[in-house]
Structure 1
Amino acid sequence: MTREEDRELLKAAYEAWESENWSLAGELLERMARRHPDHRSAGVWWYDAALAYKFLRNWAKAYELGREAAARADRDAQEPAFWNLGIAATIMEDWSTARDAWRGFGLPVPDGDGEIVADFGVTPIRLDPASNGEVVWAQRLCPARARVLNVPTPESGRRFGEVVVHDGAPNGEREVDGRTYSVFDELLLFRASELPTTTVHVTAETPEDVRALAALFDEHGYAAEPASGVRVLCSCCSEGSVSQETDHQVGGGQQVNVAAPPAEISGLMEAWCSAAPARRSWTSPTAS
Structure 2
Amino acid sequence: MTMTDDAPDAAIERVLDEAYAAFDAERYDRAGELLAGVAAGVAPGLAKALWFDAALCALRMRDWPSARDRGLQAVRFVERGANEPAYWNLGTAATALRDWDLARDCWAGFGMEPLPGTGPIDIDGGPTCVRLGIGEVVWARRIDPVRARVLNVPFDPSRRYGEIVLHSGAPSGERVSGGVTYPVFDEIELFEASPLATLAVRVTARDADDIEDLSARFARDGYGMEVLNSRVDRCSCCSEGTHRSERGRFDGEQPLFIAAPEDTAHAVLDTWTRDRPDARSWTDLHPA
Place the TM-score, normalised by the shorter chain, in its bin: over 0.9
Percent identical pairs in the alignment equals 43
For 1:147-183, what per-residue CA distance to the aligned partner results, in whole angstroms no more than 9, with x for missing partners? 0111111x25111111111011211111223322111
Q: 2:135 aligns with which of 133, 136, 142?
A: 133
What is residue 143 of structure 1 aligned with on the other side?
145
Shift in Å, 1:50: 0.6
Kindly indicate whether residue 120 of structure 2 is the aligned counterpart of residue 123 of structure 1: no
**Runs of at least 4 residues off by over 6 Å:** none
Shift in Å, 1:250: 2.6
What is residue 68 of structure 1 aligned with on the other side?
73
In the TM superposition, 1:95-134 aligns within 5 A as 95-128=100-133, 132-134=134-136
What is residue 219 of structure 1 aligned with on the other side?
220
Kindly indicate whether residue 11 of structure 2 is the aligned counterpart of residue 5 of structure 1: yes
CA pair 249-195 structure 1, distance change in 2 beyond 3 A:
farther
* Amino acid aligned to 1:238: S
Q: TM-score normalised to the size of structure 2? A: 0.94
In the TM superposition, 1:203-242 aligns within 5 A as 203-242=204-243
Q: Distance in 1 between matches of 2:265 and 2:22?
A: 54
For the residue of structure 2 that corresponds to 1:14, the secondary structure is helix
Q: 2:32 aligns with which of 23, 26, 35?
A: 26
What is residue 161 of structure 1 aligned with on the other side?
162
Shift in Å, 1:114: 0.8
Unaligned runs of 5+ in 2: 1-7
Unaligned runs of 5+ in 1: none
Shift in Å, 1:249: 6.1
* Amino acid aligned to 1:12: E
Residues 210 and 249 of structure 1 are in contact (CA less than 8 Å); yes or no, is this contact kept in structure 2?
A: no
* Amino acid aligned to 1:140: R
CA RMSD of aligned residues (A): 1.5
Shift in Å, 1:133: 0.9
Q: TM-score normalised to the size of structure 1? A: 0.94
Kindly indicate whether residue 64 of structure 2 is the aligned counterpart of residue 59 of structure 1: yes
Residues 211 and 249 of structure 1 are in contact (CA less than 8 Å); yes or no, is this contact kept in structure 2?
A: no
CA pair 164-109 structure 1, distance change in 2 beyond 3 A:
farther
* Amino acid aligned to 1:14: Y
For the residue of structure 2 that corresponds to 1:161, the secondary structure is coil
CA pair 211-260 structure 1, distance change in 2 beyond 3 A:
same
* Amino acid aligned to 1:172: G
For the residue of structure 2 that corresponds to 1:193, the secondary structure is coil
* Amino acid aligned to 2:14: E
For 1:218-270, what per-residue CA distance to the aligned partner results, in whole angstroms no more than 9, with x for missing partners? 1222111211222111111111121223x446351011110001122211111
What is residue 35 of structure 1 aligned with on the other side?
41
Residues 134 and 156 of structure 1 are in contact (CA less than 8 Å); yes or no, is this contact kept in structure 2?
A: no
Q: Distance in 1 between matches of 2:249 and 2:261?
A: 23
**Larger displacement relative to structure 2 (221-230 or 87-96):** 221-230
* Amino acid aligned to 1:203: T
Equivalent residue pairs, number: 281
